[in-house]
Chain A
Amino acid sequence: MSENPDDDGIVLTEAQKRARRSRSIAIALALAALVVLFYAMTLVKGPGVLIRPI
Protein backbone atom coordinates (compact mmCIF):
# COMPACT_ATOMS: atom_id res chain seq x y z
CA MET A 1 0.00 0.00 0.00
CA SER A 2 1.47 3.32 -1.05
CA GLU A 3 1.96 6.16 1.41
CA ASN A 4 2.19 8.68 -1.42
CA PRO A 5 -0.38 11.44 -0.76
CA ASP A 6 -0.58 12.14 -4.49
CA ASP A 7 -2.16 8.72 -5.11
CA ASP A 8 -5.85 8.64 -5.87
CA GLY A 9 -7.93 7.38 -2.97
CA ILE A 10 -9.86 8.54 0.02
CA VAL A 11 -8.04 11.09 2.11
CA LEU A 12 -9.76 11.71 5.42
CA THR A 13 -10.32 15.24 6.60
CA GLU A 14 -9.39 16.21 10.14
CA ALA A 15 -13.07 16.03 11.14
CA GLN A 16 -13.35 12.53 9.71
CA LYS A 17 -10.19 11.43 11.51
CA ARG A 18 -11.49 12.80 14.81
CA ALA A 19 -14.85 11.09 14.30
CA ARG A 20 -13.17 7.79 13.44
CA ARG A 21 -10.90 8.01 16.48
CA SER A 22 -13.82 8.62 18.83
CA ARG A 23 -15.74 5.69 17.30
CA SER A 24 -12.70 3.42 17.65
CA ILE A 25 -12.30 4.33 21.31
CA ALA A 26 -16.01 3.68 21.94
CA ILE A 27 -15.79 0.24 20.27
CA ALA A 28 -12.70 -0.61 22.33
CA LEU A 29 -14.42 0.40 25.56
CA ALA A 30 -17.55 -1.59 24.66
CA LEU A 31 -15.50 -4.71 23.92
CA ALA A 32 -13.53 -4.29 27.15
CA ALA A 33 -16.81 -3.95 29.07
CA LEU A 34 -18.05 -7.15 27.43
CA VAL A 35 -14.92 -9.03 28.53
CA VAL A 36 -15.35 -7.75 32.10
CA LEU A 37 -19.04 -8.73 32.04
CA PHE A 38 -18.29 -12.31 30.93
CA TYR A 39 -15.48 -12.56 33.50
CA ALA A 40 -17.75 -11.33 36.31
CA MET A 41 -20.60 -13.65 35.32
CA THR A 42 -18.19 -16.60 35.13
CA LEU A 43 -17.17 -15.86 38.73
CA VAL A 44 -20.82 -15.50 39.76
CA LYS A 45 -21.88 -18.80 38.19
CA GLY A 46 -18.80 -20.71 39.29
CA PRO A 47 -18.85 -24.33 38.08
CA GLY A 48 -22.49 -23.79 37.05
CA VAL A 49 -21.28 -21.84 34.05
CA LEU A 50 -20.77 -25.17 32.27
CA ILE A 51 -24.34 -26.33 32.92
CA ARG A 52 -26.44 -25.01 30.06
CA PRO A 53 -29.84 -26.68 29.80
CA ILE A 54 -31.77 -25.41 26.77
Chain B
Amino acid sequence: MSLVSEGVEVRGPLVAGVGEPSLATVGDYIALMKPRVMSLVVFTALVGLAVAPGSLHPVAAFTALLSIAVGAGAAGALNMWYDADVDALMTRTARRPVPMGRVLPGEALAFGLTLGSFAVVVLGLLVNWVAAALLAFTIFFYIVIYTIWLKRSTPQNIVIGGAAGAFPPMIGWAAVTGSLSLEPALLFLIIFFWTPPHFWALALYRTEDYARARIPMLPVVSGDASTRRQIMLYTLVLVPLGVAPWAFGYTGALYGVTALVTGAIMVILGWQVFRESRPAERASRNLFAFSILYLFLLFAVLLVERGWGGLIARLAA
Protein backbone atom coordinates (compact mmCIF):
# COMPACT_ATOMS: atom_id res chain seq x y z
CA MET B 1 0.00 0.00 0.00
CA SER B 2 1.61 3.24 -1.07
CA LEU B 3 1.59 6.27 1.17
CA VAL B 4 1.24 8.41 -1.92
CA SER B 5 -2.00 6.67 -2.80
CA GLU B 6 -3.33 7.54 0.66
CA GLY B 7 -2.59 11.19 0.10
CA VAL B 8 0.16 11.18 2.71
CA GLU B 9 3.46 12.77 1.94
CA VAL B 10 6.25 10.24 1.51
CA ARG B 11 8.88 10.89 4.15
CA GLY B 12 11.35 8.20 3.29
CA PRO B 13 15.10 8.30 2.94
CA LEU B 14 14.85 8.96 -0.77
CA VAL B 15 12.89 12.18 -0.29
CA ALA B 16 13.29 13.35 3.26
CA GLY B 17 16.00 14.38 5.64
CA VAL B 18 17.22 12.69 8.79
CA GLY B 19 15.08 13.04 11.90
CA GLU B 20 11.63 12.96 10.32
CA PRO B 21 9.05 11.34 12.60
CA SER B 22 8.44 7.82 11.43
CA LEU B 23 5.19 6.60 9.93
CA ALA B 24 6.35 2.99 10.04
CA THR B 25 3.77 0.55 11.32
CA VAL B 26 4.29 -2.83 12.94
CA GLY B 27 3.39 -4.35 9.57
CA ASP B 28 6.27 -2.48 7.93
CA TYR B 29 8.70 -3.93 10.45
CA ILE B 30 7.30 -7.40 9.89
CA ALA B 31 7.82 -6.89 6.14
CA LEU B 32 11.44 -5.90 6.88
CA MET B 33 11.98 -9.37 8.30
CA LYS B 34 11.04 -11.05 4.98
CA PRO B 35 8.44 -13.39 6.53
CA ARG B 36 8.30 -15.75 3.54
CA VAL B 37 12.06 -16.31 3.60
CA MET B 38 11.85 -16.62 7.37
CA SER B 39 9.24 -19.37 7.11
CA LEU B 40 11.53 -21.45 4.86
CA VAL B 41 14.44 -20.85 7.24
CA VAL B 42 12.36 -21.95 10.24
CA PHE B 43 11.12 -25.01 8.39
CA THR B 44 14.59 -26.21 7.36
CA ALA B 45 15.92 -25.45 10.85
CA LEU B 46 13.04 -27.47 12.32
CA VAL B 47 14.05 -30.43 10.14
CA GLY B 48 17.68 -30.13 11.26
CA LEU B 49 16.51 -29.98 14.86
CA ALA B 50 14.09 -32.89 14.49
CA VAL B 51 16.47 -35.32 12.76
CA ALA B 52 19.36 -34.66 15.15
CA PRO B 53 20.17 -37.41 17.62
CA GLY B 54 19.72 -36.73 21.30
CA SER B 55 17.08 -34.81 23.15
CA LEU B 56 16.11 -31.21 23.67
CA HIS B 57 13.35 -29.97 25.94
CA PRO B 58 10.36 -28.66 23.93
CA VAL B 59 10.74 -25.18 25.45
CA ALA B 60 14.41 -25.17 24.45
CA ALA B 61 13.47 -26.38 20.95
CA PHE B 62 10.91 -23.57 20.67
CA THR B 63 13.52 -21.08 21.90
CA ALA B 64 16.01 -22.33 19.32
CA LEU B 65 13.50 -22.00 16.47
CA LEU B 66 12.37 -18.57 17.69
CA SER B 67 15.98 -17.37 17.85
CA ILE B 68 16.69 -18.71 14.37
CA ALA B 69 13.52 -17.03 13.04
CA VAL B 70 14.43 -13.71 14.65
CA GLY B 71 18.00 -14.04 13.38
CA ALA B 72 16.67 -14.60 9.86
CA GLY B 73 14.42 -11.56 10.30
CA ALA B 74 17.43 -9.52 11.40
CA ALA B 75 19.33 -10.58 8.29
CA GLY B 76 16.33 -9.60 6.15
CA ALA B 77 16.11 -6.15 7.77
CA LEU B 78 19.85 -5.53 7.35
CA ASN B 79 19.63 -6.66 3.74
CA MET B 80 16.80 -4.19 3.10
CA TRP B 81 18.78 -1.45 4.83
CA TYR B 82 21.81 -1.93 2.59
CA ASP B 83 19.94 -2.70 -0.62
CA ALA B 84 17.35 0.10 -0.48
CA ASP B 85 18.88 1.83 -3.52
CA VAL B 86 18.76 -1.21 -5.78
CA ASP B 87 15.44 -2.40 -4.35
CA ALA B 88 13.92 0.89 -5.50
CA LEU B 89 14.93 0.11 -9.09
CA MET B 90 13.47 -3.39 -9.28
CA THR B 91 9.80 -4.20 -9.82
CA ARG B 92 9.90 -7.16 -7.43
CA THR B 93 11.35 -5.14 -4.54
CA ALA B 94 10.32 -1.53 -5.16
CA ARG B 95 7.41 -1.76 -2.73
CA ARG B 96 9.54 -2.81 0.22
CA PRO B 97 9.27 -0.51 3.29
CA VAL B 98 12.62 1.30 2.89
CA PRO B 99 12.42 2.19 -0.84
CA MET B 100 8.77 3.14 -0.30
CA GLY B 101 9.90 5.57 2.39
CA ARG B 102 7.84 4.03 5.18
CA VAL B 103 10.92 2.97 7.16
CA LEU B 104 14.09 5.08 7.28
CA PRO B 105 17.38 3.30 6.49
CA GLY B 106 18.66 4.07 9.98
CA GLU B 107 15.56 2.51 11.49
CA ALA B 108 16.02 -0.66 9.41
CA LEU B 109 19.69 -0.81 10.45
CA ALA B 110 18.92 -0.36 14.15
CA PHE B 111 16.07 -2.88 13.94
CA GLY B 112 18.29 -5.47 12.24
CA LEU B 113 21.22 -5.03 14.62
CA THR B 114 18.98 -5.17 17.68
CA LEU B 115 17.11 -8.27 16.53
CA GLY B 116 20.31 -10.02 15.44
CA SER B 117 22.05 -9.32 18.76
CA PHE B 118 19.07 -10.53 20.78
CA ALA B 119 18.67 -13.67 18.64
CA VAL B 120 22.31 -14.72 19.04
CA VAL B 121 22.56 -13.94 22.75
CA VAL B 122 19.23 -15.64 23.59
CA LEU B 123 20.20 -18.75 21.59
CA GLY B 124 23.60 -18.84 23.29
CA LEU B 125 22.32 -18.27 26.84
CA LEU B 126 19.27 -20.52 26.66
CA VAL B 127 20.31 -23.30 24.25
CA ASN B 128 24.02 -23.52 23.41
CA TRP B 129 26.84 -21.37 22.09
CA VAL B 130 27.73 -23.58 19.11
CA ALA B 131 24.29 -22.96 17.62
CA ALA B 132 24.53 -19.29 18.58
CA ALA B 133 27.94 -18.93 16.90
CA LEU B 134 26.55 -20.56 13.75
CA LEU B 135 23.58 -18.20 13.77
CA ALA B 136 25.88 -15.18 14.19
CA PHE B 137 28.08 -16.42 11.36
CA THR B 138 25.02 -16.95 9.13
CA ILE B 139 23.81 -13.38 9.68
CA PHE B 140 27.37 -12.08 9.09
CA PHE B 141 27.69 -14.17 5.93
CA TYR B 142 24.35 -13.04 4.50
CA ILE B 143 24.96 -9.35 5.16
CA VAL B 144 28.71 -8.80 4.80
CA ILE B 145 29.75 -11.56 2.40
CA TYR B 146 26.62 -11.75 0.24
CA THR B 147 24.74 -8.44 0.46
CA ILE B 148 27.60 -5.97 0.83
CA TRP B 149 30.37 -7.76 -1.05
CA LEU B 150 29.27 -10.40 -3.56
CA LYS B 151 25.80 -9.29 -4.69
CA ARG B 152 27.03 -6.23 -6.58
CA SER B 153 30.42 -7.53 -7.65
CA THR B 154 30.18 -11.01 -9.18
CA PRO B 155 27.73 -13.25 -11.07
CA GLN B 156 28.69 -15.95 -8.56
CA ASN B 157 26.87 -13.88 -5.92
CA ILE B 158 24.04 -16.31 -5.24
CA VAL B 159 26.26 -19.36 -5.60
CA ILE B 160 28.51 -18.38 -2.68
CA GLY B 161 25.85 -16.31 -0.94
CA GLY B 162 23.52 -19.29 -1.06
CA ALA B 163 25.50 -20.74 1.83
CA ALA B 164 23.71 -18.31 4.14
CA GLY B 165 20.36 -19.91 3.31
CA ALA B 166 21.85 -23.37 3.72
CA PHE B 167 23.01 -22.95 7.32
CA PRO B 168 19.63 -23.15 9.19
CA PRO B 169 19.40 -26.99 9.28
CA MET B 170 22.94 -27.05 10.69
CA ILE B 171 21.93 -24.53 13.35
CA GLY B 172 18.91 -26.68 14.22
CA TRP B 173 21.13 -29.76 14.45
CA ALA B 174 23.71 -27.89 16.57
CA ALA B 175 20.95 -26.68 18.91
CA VAL B 176 20.29 -30.32 19.85
CA THR B 177 23.76 -31.85 19.72
CA GLY B 178 26.09 -28.91 20.35
CA SER B 179 28.17 -30.15 17.41
CA LEU B 180 28.03 -30.92 13.67
CA SER B 181 28.44 -34.04 11.53
CA LEU B 182 28.02 -35.41 7.99
CA GLU B 183 24.22 -35.55 8.01
CA PRO B 184 23.58 -31.82 8.59
CA ALA B 185 26.39 -31.15 6.11
CA LEU B 186 24.35 -33.08 3.50
CA LEU B 187 21.30 -30.94 4.28
CA PHE B 188 23.54 -27.88 3.88
CA LEU B 189 24.77 -29.11 0.49
CA ILE B 190 21.24 -29.80 -0.76
CA ILE B 191 20.14 -26.20 -0.08
CA PHE B 192 23.50 -24.83 -1.29
CA PHE B 193 23.21 -26.49 -4.71
CA TRP B 194 19.45 -25.86 -4.88
CA THR B 195 19.95 -22.08 -4.62
CA PRO B 196 21.62 -21.35 -8.03
CA PRO B 197 19.06 -23.11 -10.27
CA HIS B 198 16.25 -21.63 -8.18
CA PHE B 199 17.45 -18.01 -8.36
CA TRP B 200 18.84 -18.17 -11.88
CA ALA B 201 15.47 -19.45 -13.11
CA LEU B 202 13.96 -16.34 -11.53
CA ALA B 203 16.72 -14.12 -12.94
CA LEU B 204 16.06 -15.45 -16.45
CA TYR B 205 12.66 -13.82 -16.55
CA ARG B 206 13.68 -10.81 -14.42
CA THR B 207 16.87 -10.03 -16.34
CA GLU B 208 15.82 -6.46 -17.17
CA ASP B 209 15.09 -5.80 -13.52
CA TYR B 210 18.56 -6.91 -12.42
CA ALA B 211 20.22 -5.07 -15.32
CA ARG B 212 18.41 -1.84 -14.41
CA ALA B 213 19.63 -2.20 -10.82
CA ARG B 214 23.18 -3.01 -12.10
CA ILE B 215 23.25 -6.28 -10.21
CA PRO B 216 25.58 -8.69 -12.03
CA MET B 217 23.29 -11.71 -12.03
CA LEU B 218 24.46 -14.45 -14.35
CA PRO B 219 21.94 -13.72 -17.17
CA VAL B 220 22.98 -10.04 -17.11
CA VAL B 221 26.72 -10.75 -17.26
CA SER B 222 27.06 -14.03 -19.14
CA GLY B 223 23.86 -14.04 -21.12
CA ASP B 224 20.81 -16.20 -21.48
CA ALA B 225 22.34 -19.35 -23.00
CA SER B 226 25.17 -19.58 -20.48
CA THR B 227 22.73 -19.22 -17.58
CA ARG B 228 20.51 -21.99 -18.92
CA ARG B 229 23.56 -24.28 -19.23
CA GLN B 230 24.63 -23.46 -15.67
CA ILE B 231 21.10 -24.17 -14.39
CA MET B 232 21.24 -27.60 -16.04
CA LEU B 233 24.68 -28.35 -14.58
CA TYR B 234 23.75 -27.31 -11.05
CA THR B 235 20.52 -29.32 -11.28
CA LEU B 236 22.55 -32.39 -12.25
CA VAL B 237 24.69 -31.90 -9.14
CA LEU B 238 21.69 -31.14 -6.94
CA VAL B 239 19.62 -34.23 -7.72
CA PRO B 240 22.21 -36.83 -6.58
CA LEU B 241 22.78 -34.75 -3.44
CA GLY B 242 19.03 -34.86 -2.84
CA VAL B 243 19.17 -38.66 -3.01
CA ALA B 244 22.34 -38.87 -0.87
CA PRO B 245 20.67 -38.98 2.59
CA TRP B 246 18.86 -42.13 1.44
CA ALA B 247 21.97 -43.55 -0.24
CA PHE B 248 23.96 -43.03 2.96
CA GLY B 249 21.27 -44.86 4.93
CA TYR B 250 20.07 -41.86 6.93
CA THR B 251 16.51 -42.15 5.61
CA GLY B 252 14.02 -44.78 4.51
CA ALA B 253 12.38 -45.76 1.24
CA LEU B 254 9.79 -42.97 1.27
CA TYR B 255 12.49 -40.32 1.20
CA GLY B 256 14.42 -42.25 -1.45
CA VAL B 257 11.39 -42.51 -3.75
CA THR B 258 10.47 -38.85 -3.18
CA ALA B 259 14.03 -37.68 -3.89
CA LEU B 260 14.23 -39.82 -7.06
CA VAL B 261 10.84 -38.79 -8.46
CA THR B 262 11.08 -35.08 -7.66
CA GLY B 263 14.74 -35.13 -8.74
CA ALA B 264 13.72 -36.57 -12.11
CA ILE B 265 11.15 -33.78 -12.50
CA MET B 266 13.84 -31.21 -11.63
CA VAL B 267 16.10 -32.66 -14.33
CA ILE B 268 13.28 -32.59 -16.89
CA LEU B 269 12.42 -28.99 -16.02
CA GLY B 270 16.10 -28.06 -16.08
CA TRP B 271 16.41 -29.65 -19.50
CA GLN B 272 13.37 -27.68 -20.72
CA VAL B 273 15.01 -24.47 -19.45
CA PHE B 274 18.22 -25.49 -21.23
CA ARG B 275 16.36 -26.02 -24.50
CA GLU B 276 14.21 -22.90 -24.20
CA SER B 277 15.40 -19.59 -25.55
CA ARG B 278 14.28 -16.01 -25.15
CA PRO B 279 11.75 -14.50 -25.28
CA ALA B 280 10.05 -17.69 -24.04
CA GLU B 281 10.17 -17.98 -20.26
CA ARG B 282 7.59 -20.61 -19.39
CA ALA B 283 10.16 -23.29 -18.58
CA SER B 284 12.06 -20.88 -16.32
CA ARG B 285 8.90 -20.01 -14.43
CA ASN B 286 8.02 -23.70 -14.12
CA LEU B 287 11.47 -24.56 -12.75
CA PHE B 288 11.39 -21.64 -10.31
CA ALA B 289 7.99 -22.71 -8.96
CA PHE B 290 8.77 -26.43 -8.82
CA SER B 291 12.16 -25.91 -7.18
CA ILE B 292 10.36 -24.50 -4.13
CA LEU B 293 8.10 -27.56 -3.99
CA TYR B 294 11.13 -29.83 -4.51
CA LEU B 295 13.01 -28.48 -1.49
CA PHE B 296 9.87 -28.43 0.62
CA LEU B 297 9.02 -32.04 -0.23
CA LEU B 298 12.53 -33.34 0.49
CA PHE B 299 12.62 -31.70 3.90
CA ALA B 300 8.97 -32.49 4.71
CA VAL B 301 9.47 -36.20 3.99
CA LEU B 302 12.70 -36.14 5.99
CA LEU B 303 10.78 -34.59 8.85
CA VAL B 304 7.98 -37.16 8.67
CA GLU B 305 10.26 -40.15 8.21
CA ARG B 306 13.22 -39.33 10.43
CA GLY B 307 12.25 -36.53 12.68
CA TRP B 308 8.58 -36.81 13.44
CA GLY B 309 8.87 -39.66 15.94
CA GLY B 310 11.73 -37.93 17.71
CA LEU B 311 9.92 -34.62 17.73
CA ILE B 312 6.75 -36.14 19.20
CA ALA B 313 8.83 -37.96 21.80
CA ARG B 314 10.53 -34.69 22.75
CA LEU B 315 7.24 -32.84 23.00
CA ALA B 316 5.84 -35.64 25.14
CA ALA B 317 8.91 -35.76 27.39
Contacts and interface: CB of A to CB of B under 8 A. Distances in A.
Interface of A: 10, 12-13, 15-16, 19-20, 22-23, 25-26, 34, 37-38, 40-41, 44, 54
Given A15-B8, A44-B57, A54-B129, A37 B63 contact: yes
B59 interface: yes
A50 B126 CA distance: 11
B23 A15 contact: yes
B67 to A, nearest CB: 10
B66 interface: yes
A41 B64 CA distance: 11
Nearest to A13: B21
A25 to B, nearest CB: 8
Interface string B14-44: 0000010111111001000000000000000
A20 B107 CA distance: 13
Contact of A41 (B19, B26, B60): B60
Interface of B is mostly: helix
Contacts of A12: 21
Interface of B: 8, 19, 21-26, 29, 57, 59-60, 63, 66, 118, 122, 126, 129
A3 B205 CA distance: 57
B24 A23 contact: yes
A13 B59 CA distance: 42
Contacts of B22: 16, 19-20, 23
Contacts of A20: 21-22
A25 B26 CA distance: 9
14 contacts: A10-B19, A10-B21, A12-B21, A15-B23, A16-B21, A19-B22, A19-B23, A20-B21, A26-B26, A38-B126, A40-B59, A44-B57, A44-B60, A54-B129
